[in-house]
Amino acid sequence: MKILIKIVKVVLTILLFLFSIAIIYISVLAPKEKRFKMAEHTQGFYLSQTMFDILIFQHPEYSDVYFEKSVAFNKRGEYAKGFELLNKAVELDSKSHLGYRGWMKLRKLRDFDNALSDFNRLDSLTPNFVDSPWGEDIDFLRGECYFGKKEYQKAIVLFNRSIKNQKEGWADIHSFVYLGICEYELRNYEKSIHEFKRALKQSKNIPESYFGMAKSYQKLGQIEKAKEHILKAEKNINYKRDDSYNEFLNEIYLSEILELKQTLNNK
């Protein structure tokens, strides 16, 4: 029995030793691309961040490591550390990382001026190419920046450019929604309704369009049409533009739909 216990201990010791060697190899000696992929897929965990640290130490000019390590910090809302790493990635490879940094400044920080600066700089680095930071058309994102700054005429130019570049049937539906909101804010209520209708040509389940049209018809004194569209907004609220991590600039809520509905019913 004692011999068996000793054998088990020896086997466990050998396995632990081999496991340690494997961890050391994976963390320190494996090809950098392989280690990067492994750390990327376990993003946020201690081992992942340690592997990124080792890669940064061994390859201080490897921009993707700084970028990928920043993601976990930014997801947790630790923007000071996240942007310290992201800024380094941009410094090393501006063309690859400016778009994401601009997207982060727009969607997470609402830093519209600096987001625009990043998008414009990226655009200047890629002539004759339409960029898509984080998968979204750059002119759509720039339009959102101007919308956030309440510079509605400039926003209209950018959203229309985005639609032209992407083609009407392929453009982000919310390009039309934003155009409708911009025209509403400029008190161009008929134009506003026209833009909301363009969104509804792409899909009949856009509550933002119905809500915007209800408000525009209210301003035009067409109360029955306003009532008709506020009911459609309420019916389609589950199709609203929504994200678990971000509140969109044009996001609507059931509470404001019900508030307008009550106001219209009192007329």
Q: How many structural domains is the chain composed of?
A: 1
Per-residue CA distances from 86 to 73, 90, 98, 183, 245 (Å): 10, 6, 9, 36, 19
Structure tokens at 173: 């539906």
Whether residue 127 lies inside any domain: the answer is: no
pTM of the predicted structure, to 2 decimals? 0.85
Quick: pLDDT tens for 154-184. Answer: 999 999 999 999 999 999 999 999 999 999 9
Asked whether residue 221 is domain-assigned, the answer is: yes
228 inside domain: yes
Is 161 a domain residue?
no
Ramachandran bin of 49, using left for φ above 0, alpha for ψ from -120 to 50, beta for the remaining angles: alpha
* Domain annotation covers residue 6: no
158, 140 Cβ separation under 8 angstroms = yes
Classify residue 127 by its DSSP letter: T
**d(C-alpha 187, C-alpha 189), whole Å:** 5
Rg (CA), the chain: 26
Question: What six digits make up the tokens of 8?
Answer: 């088990």
Give a yes or no: residue 193 inside a domain: yes
Look at residue 82 and tell me if it is in a domain: no
CB 82 within 8 A of CB 74: yes
37 has a pLDDT exceeding 80: no
For the stretch 229-245, pLDDT in tens is 999 999 999 999 998 88
125 lies in some domain: no
Instruction: Give me the domain span that covers residue 176.
Output: 172-267
Which of 32-36, 49-53, 87-91 has the largest mean confidence?
87-91
Burial of 156 (0-12, 13-18, 19+ CB in 10 A): buried
Integer CA distances (angstroms), 75 to 47, 71, 82, 111, in order: 18, 6, 9, 17
Task: Give the domain CATH number at 244.
Answer: 1.25.40.10
The whole-number average pLDDT for the span 35-54 is 72
Q: Is the pLDDT of residue 189 over 80?
A: yes
pLDDT tier at 17, thresholds 50, 70, 90: very low
Max Cα–Cα distance, the chain, nearest Å:
94
pLDDT 10s digits, 64-123: 999 999 998 998 899 999 999 999 999 999 999 999 999 999 999 999 999 999 999 999
CA distance 95 to 131: 10
At 197, list the tokens.
């209708």
Band (58; pLDDT cuts 50, 70, 90): confident
